[in-house]
Every structure is written in C-alpha cells, then in structure tokens.
C-alpha cells in the first residue's frame, strides 16, 4: 500500500487516547452509577459500568470486561454521560464497548470488542480510536453502528475495521441502519470493512452528512455503499489517504 499523503499521526492513536500514562489507578469491581453528577476517576474496573443517573463523568479509567454484553451502558434516566480519557478492553467478550443513548466519548481507546460503539440518540464520539475488533460467530464487527438514532456527531476519530495481524477486512467502520436523522460524520480516518461506510438499503435518513473523511484501502468491496442514498449527503471532501482524490 502506498504511504499515505496525510500521516496517521493526524488522528488519534495510542499516544492520545485512553488513560494518561501518569495516572495511578485503583482496582474496582463492576459499577452501577445512580447518583446525579457522580464523577468516577482513576479506576481500573473489572467488569462493567451501568449508568442510571444524569451528568455522570467517567474519566481516566480503564474498563476490562469480564463477561456481559457491554462495558458501558446508559439505562433509566441517564442523560449527558461524559466518558473521557478511558480505555475499554473487551477481552473478546463484550458485544460492544458502549451502548446506547445520551453520551459523549472523548479520547477513548476501544479494543478487543466485537462492535466498537452502538450510537443511539444524542451521542457524540470525538478524538477516539477503535481498533482490534474480535470476530465471533454471528458478529458484524462494526467500529460504529448507528441505528434508529437522531442528533449524532462523530468527529476526528480513527476507525480500524480490519484485523491487524492479517489485514483481513471486518464489516465496517460505520454502519447506518434503521431511521437516522441529523448525523455528522466528519474528519475521521476510516480503513477496512467490506465497505468502510455501509449504508443499508432500508435506511430512512434525513440530514445525514458525511464529509472531510480520509479513507484507507483495506476494504473488501469499497469505501462506501450507496453514497447517493436519499437523505445522505456524501461530500467530495471524502478522499483517499494515498492520493488525496475524492472517493467516488
């Protein structure tokens, strides 16, 4: 593969995501967070974090999954969750790192899960790295999956939808399904997948904007399926990493 015109250092990676090297973590078991405004910092959680409350913050924390479908899940009246400078190691067990509505992920390192993040409504993923997804029977292995959601922002992330040891493509960097409205997918680096961006034929979309992204060539079929799908704006500013030309 030709050397990329834009170095990968422009996007998040091991030096800029996850728990800062200077942090000192205290061991913890699974957490059920039920107090509004609770702040969790500097923990190494073995298990899961379920969030039931408003305005919870999880910061400088590593979550090592030990069974169960999700590392972090919003439930009940959870609104405005912030997950920042966090590492999630799914250990091959977790179906997805984060699920489902009302959260922001910032500088999060997600790896060894089957799906990276399942985005519901009012969700934001920025400056994060999703990589080393783990195939399993029946799994799709999407870095990001958006289904039946509104008000979603995905900006300046590195999304690696391939197996690093073999280069074998997985399913997708971004999968859009169901009814999706008001989504911005911009300034991301996407590499791998059958299609790097999979737009399902049954998608019902409005104001879905995909722009300013850079694509590698480890895909199986192409960078995008159905770029002209109704309700989706695929911009000419989506370009290849190796020659800077627009992705058709």
What are the tens digits of pLDDT across the range 161-208?
A: 999 999 999 999 999 999 999 999 999 999 999 999 999 999 999 999
Average pLDDT over residues 227-243: 97
Contact 132, 113 (CB under 8 A): no
Residue of higher predicted confidence among 42 and 5: 42
Asked whether residue 2 carries a pLDDT value surpassing 90, the answer given is no
Q: Is residue 29 part of a domain?
A: no
Residue 105 included in any domain: no
pTM of the model: 0.97
The length of the chain in residues reads: 248
Answer whether residue 212 is part of any domain. Answer: yes
CB 72 within 8 A of CB 118: no
Question: Is residue 13 one of the residues assigned to a domain?
Answer: no
Total number of domains in the chain = 1
Position 155 in a domain: yes
Average pLDDT, the chain: 96
Smallest CA-to-CA distance from 148 within 126, 176, 115 is with 176
Asked if residue 155 has pLDDT above 80, the reply is yes
Would 64 be classed as within a structural domain?
A: no
**Tokens 């250092």 -> residue:** 9
- Report if residue 179 sits inside a domain: yes
The structure tokens 């290849």 sit at 240
- Residue 100 resides in a domain: no
The domain in which residue 174 lies consists of: 114-243
């Amino acid at each position: 593969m030709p050397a990329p015109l834009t170095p990968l250092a422009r996007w998040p990676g091991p030096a800029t995501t996850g728990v800062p090297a200077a942090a000192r973590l205290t061991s913890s078991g699974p957490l059920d967070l039920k107090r509004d405004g609770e702040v969790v910092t500097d923990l190494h959680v073995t298990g899961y974090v379920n969030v039931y409350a408003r305005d919870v913050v999880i910061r400088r924390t590593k979550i090592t999954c030990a069974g169960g479908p999700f590392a972090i899940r919003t439930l009940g009246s959870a609104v405005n969750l912030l997950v920042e400078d966090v590492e999630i190691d799914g250990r091959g067990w977790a179906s997805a790192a984060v699920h489902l509505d009302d959260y922001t992920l910032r500088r999060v390192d997600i790896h060894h899960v089957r799906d990276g993040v399942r985005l519901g409504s009012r969700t934001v993923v920025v400056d994060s790295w999703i990589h080393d997804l783990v195939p399993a029977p029946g799994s799709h292995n999407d870095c990001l999956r958006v289904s039946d959601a509104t008000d979603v922002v995905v900006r300046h992330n590195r999304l690696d939808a391939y197996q690093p040891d073999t280069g074998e493509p997985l399913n997708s960097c971004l999968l859009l399904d169901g009814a999706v409205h008001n989504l911005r997918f911009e300034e991301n680096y996407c590499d791998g997948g059958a299609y790097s961006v999979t737009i399902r034929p049954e998608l019902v979309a409005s104001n879905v904007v995909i722009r300013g992204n850079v694509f590698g060539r480890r895909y199986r079929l192409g960078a995008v399926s159905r770029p002209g799908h109704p309700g989706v704006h695929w911009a000419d500013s989506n370009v290849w990493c190796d020659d800077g030309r627009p992705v058709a």
